[in-house]
Structure 1
């Protein structure tokens, strides 16, 4: 089971000491998602929302790919202790996902989380604090659509 999250992207431990090109990643997905006393099973979450969640995690992988092994270690330590770093990282993952065509799914995921009546206000406030808002996601979708900019091979590697 994934600790504290429904999905979690991370490098495979052994590959962390390989070159960036040879690093391997895994995305852990919990069969259940627990927010305080509310439990959702993976089957209860709409497909578009799951796709958006997965897109967000793939955004993390894209972010990880540009970091050195030592950089990944410092990254992990900062994630444990710095709320500012958490906010930067989570927003960057959403940005990567939107930039690579996952915007509508990311938007559906955020709206599901923020508008689901049984999720607590504390959890929703956590999401508002650390992640892009639906409005910010819509702005990114429009910005990337206006520029027509597709990611370059350099950006993808």
Structure 2
């Protein structure tokens, strides 16, 4: 029963978002470097840089959507139209918020320097790598566990570590540090759900051999 409830909420949310908040048509990319990608021209450069750290996603179908999405700065989700299909036929959506509460506007992608944009995009792409390795029921379990604070922290920490393994640690550290310094709300949120800046520095050195100064 719980799975059915989660599915109803998930599909309802995606339909609601598409119907009310979608504001940007994408640019289709299908070349030697990136296949099956629909990206927003506004962030073309930083999306391509972030994608370059994830060669395993070269052929994965990903659509980047700019939306009026006040709850998150960005979010990566399986496309509900393909979530039931085998892994190789799935596609994914990365939502980029265009507006939020005034006190959080500094965290919007459009207001960030390119380095920090790569950090947040790299984190979302790590989510997609994680989805790619999971079955349909495992993906649904993620959606369920995300509602539980203790499990959400463990999950987001694992995604940060995955991003670091792909070489995103430097950008991730810059993005997290920037948000925490800008707003106390982000300090509380990131302490509850994500790796600390010191953890990112430590893990980047351990996992990639690179130091963040």
Can you give the 5+ residue segments of structure 2 that lack an aligned partner in the other structure?
1-67
- The one of 1, 6, 9 equivalent to 2:76 is 9
Give the direction of change, closer, same or farther, for the CA distance of 1:23–1:92 in structure 2 (3 Å limit).
Answer: same
State whether residues 98 and 140 of structure 1, in contact with CA within 8 Å, keep that contact through their aligned partners in structure 2.
yes
Q: CA RMSD in A?
A: 1.8
Higher helix share: 1
Q: Secondary structure at the match of 1:14?
A: coil
Q: Secondary structure at the match of 2:169?
A: helix
Q: Secondary structure at the match of 1:9?
A: strand
Give aligned pairs, total.
142
Q: Deviations over 1:123-156 (max 9, x none)?
A: 3111111100111101111012339xxxxxxxxx
1:46 — aligned with what?
Answer: 113
2:135 equivalent to 1:68? yes
Q: Deviations over 1:97-140 (max 9, x none)?
A: 11001111001011111112xx2x23311111110011110111
* Distance in 1, Cα, partners of 2:104 & 2:150: 28
Q: CA deviation at 1:87?
A: 0.3
Q: Deviations over 1:28-63 (max 9, x none)?
A: 00112436x443354321111111000011111111
Scaled by the length of structure 2, the TM-score of the pair is: 0.62
* Distance in 2, Cα, partners of 1:51 & 1:132: 17
Can you give the 5+ residue segments of structure 1 that lack an aligned partner in the other structure?
148-157
2:184 equivalent to 1:141? no
Scaled by the length of structure 1, the TM-score of the pair is: 0.83
Give the direction of change, closer, same or farther, for the CA distance of 1:34–1:90 in structure 2 (3 Å limit).
Answer: farther
State whether residues 52 and 102 of structure 1, in contact with CA within 8 Å, keep that contact through their aligned partners in structure 2.
yes
State whether residues 48 and 108 of structure 1, in contact with CA within 8 Å, keep that contact through their aligned partners in structure 2.
yes
Q: Secondary structure at the match of 1:55?
A: helix
Q: Secondary structure at the match of 1:132?
A: coil
